[in-house]
Amino acid sequence: MKPKHIIILLTSALLFPVLTSNAQAKNEALNAKVERFLNDHKRDWRDMNVPYEDGKILHDLIVKNGYTSGLEIGTSTGHSTIWLAWAMSKTGGKVITLELNERRYKEALKNIAEAGLSDYVDARLGNAHKLVKEIPGPFDFVFSDADKDWYKQYFIDLESKLKAGGCFTTHNVADGQANADFLNYVKSHPQFTTTIDRTSRAGIMISYKKK
């Protein structure tokens, strides 16, 4: 081995622990910032945002399965988005989130930035009926929490864009907001295995696409 190659190897060996340490410190700082933000604002979320416990469920699903390409339908002012983006910061992924209302969209951007998660979010303002059809995917995680009467159509538009092993989650399925036709369609779908998490009164339907 030539001397210059030895020098390169030695330099790399010396730098690796430093880079690893810096990355760990950065991750720890971000985690602390997000936790502080979520705790400080725990009682502040209105405007159709998910409850704290449902945000944590979504976060844990992403981290547990190592998902990296997410889509959220219905940003509101960003509570669920922050949970999704925080999870994506741990898996090396990113979430696209869609919001129709400009006021909520702008407030969400502010909240996401304050939580330190802007790098993990692609926030888009527009009508999800149109955007969902246009976004190519593929995704390995979807969270649907917009207009409930369009739930079935969102699922139909996205089922082919969801990767095998991916997870499609739907909010408000235990509190009467999701209609029976949609629930039956998903529960009986041969390509999906579906359960409902009832930790909160709203309920989250968790549908895994079979491999």
Residue ranges covered by each domain of the chain? 1-40, 52-209
User: What is the pLDDT confidence band of residue 191, given thresholds at 50, 70 and 90?
Assistant: very high
Architecture, CATH, for domain 52-209: 3-Layer(aba) Sandwich (3.40)
- Measure the CA angle with vertex 152, ends 70 and 192; round to 5°: 65
How much of the chain, in percent, has pLDDT values that exceed 90? 83
pTM of structure: 0.88
* Average pLDDT score, the chain: 92
Q: For residue range 23-68, what is the model confidence (pLDDT) as tens digits?
A: 787 889 999 999 999 999 988 888 789 999 999 999 999 999 999 9
Partnered with residue 208 across adjacent β-strands are 167, 193
| Residue 132, pLDDT above cutoff 60 | yes
Query: How far is the CA of 159 from the CAs of 29, 137, 170, 190, 191, in angstroms?
Result: 36, 11, 13, 12, 9
Share of the chain above pLDDT 70, in %: 90
Return all residues near 203 (Cβ < 8 A) that are at least 6 apart. Answer: 171, 172, 173, 174, 175, 196, 197
